[in-house]
Amino acid sequence: NAYTLSLEPHTSYMSPRVSENFDISMRLSLEGIGAVLKGDNEYTEVLRTVVGGPARQSGGIHAGDRIVGVAQGDDGEMEDVVGWRLQDVVDKIRGPKGSVVRLRILPDGSGADGPTRDVRLVRNKIKLEDQAAKSSIIEGLDGMGPVRIGVIDVPAFYRDFRGQSRGEKDFRSTTRDVRKLLRELQAQGVDGIVIDLRQNGGGSLIEATELTGLFIPSGPVVQVKNSSGEVEVEEDPDPEEVYTGPLAVLVDRNSASASEIFAGAIQDYRRGIIIGEPTFGKGTVQTLVDLGRFVRGGEGKLGRLRLTMAQFFRVNGGSTQFKGVVPDIVFPNATGSEKHGERGLENALPWARIDAAEYHPLGIGSLKRYREHHQQRVKQDPGFKYLAGQAELMKTLRDQDTVSLQEQRRKEEWEARERRRKAQKNAYRASLGLPALTDEDEKTAAKEDEAGGEARKEKDDIDLIGLNEAARILADYIENQRMAVQVR
């Protein structure tokens, strides 16, 4: 990868293990026992078990338990896995659906010499539902009025290519899941919908095209230019427009690749309001080359080359490469850095432009008044004040170009930053009607967050700052449209 990264940031070698994990992330399923594991010193610890998985159904494996031995089948020898790397233990536990694996468990709270128990499990197909698209409804916020906003969180553009190639009619994909969620939200009577693409690093180009097609009647979605200069226009493959109502797309600096295709197309068609931060700026297309194809009997054993083959362009002719998608309504910089994303990577390709495709914008009118209303709210909103304070702290730390050689001085500087950070956090919590956090609270929260427990609520609350504002912006738009209809 030292060589490939000298060419551009997204060409790289993927080992067989990395390739397998990539495939799992695309199809949102694996064959195993349904347990989330972590390395804890010499042990492999169970963080949590997946609902419906063999580990949960067995009743013999719980969060905090440590796996000290693994055996294959009913008669295989139990291997001691204490001191093993986490991924090596995972490889031993995963296996084909229907096969047997036996685990030796050291219960949570037991010492190293404590009693163990053996648990027999039959591996099964595990669906990774926490990584799939999901929906919720926002209503009753201050300044929203009697408007109900549906939210669809899309964490990735996934598609089960293996299931599709096998002819499975119900293979998993982002578009299929979102189509179902759109219909459910409309049945619940929402007035508008926000598609949340924050932290969505991309995925399948096909999915970006098909997902866009759920919101437009027909037409081009993205243009792909290969290394020979040939341009192919990817069209909406389905004339069905599943949702025609008010739409917003929420993005941040980690929304990349397929996310930028979708957001860019919605913006070019003037189909919805793009809200949030400028996106990552990854406008290149990669293909996967199985290196085992070139060696007899090596298929799947030598890994893959992730190779940049083309660059994609919006239907207006502009690229998302380097610059990203600039939202219609821009949130304040939450990181304090202007170098995030493609702009901060070495050897990144420059921005470019080609001829626009033939398309027909739908039109959502001027957004000036909604920008002004947003800016007024941000000045008063405790959440945005908190994010601004955190961004300033991060920027101060990044800009610091000297470090004291005196340990006591470094400790004092760290403590001063911590006091400032905690003061900002507690001011924000006070605005939510929550008690101030103590040092012990923060330690407990960090441990619970690692285990996927209730402490994730704090992060969710911070994520809601941007999501709630996106809902208010869309509600503002909906109310204005209703008033315009009444005036007519």
Annotated catalytic sites, by residue?
A: 257, 268, 282
Task: Look at residues 176, 174, 172, 219 and name the one whose alpha carbon lies nearest to residue 197.
Answer: 174
CB 205 within 8 A of CB 221: no
The two tokens of residue 190 are: 């929402």
Q: Residue 324: which region, alpha, beta or left (left: phi > 0; alpha: psi -120 to 50)?
A: left
State the pairing for strand pair 79-80/100-106.
unpaired
- Would you say 28 and 158 are in contact if contact means Cβ atoms under 8 Å apart? yes
Distance CA 267, CA 270 (A): 5
Spatial neighbors of 422 by CB under 8 A, at least 6 apart, are 437, 442
| CA–CA separation, 188 and 71 (whole Å) | 49
Q: Is 60 left (phi over 0), alpha (psi -120 to 50) or beta?
A: alpha
d(CA 250, CA 399): 29
From CA 22, how far away is CA 13, in angstroms rounded?
A: 12
Which uninterrupted H or E stretch holds 54?
Answer: helix 54-58
CA dist 90 and 34 (Å) reads 11
DSSP labels, 76-108? PPPEE-TT--HHHHHHHH---TT-EEEEEEE-T
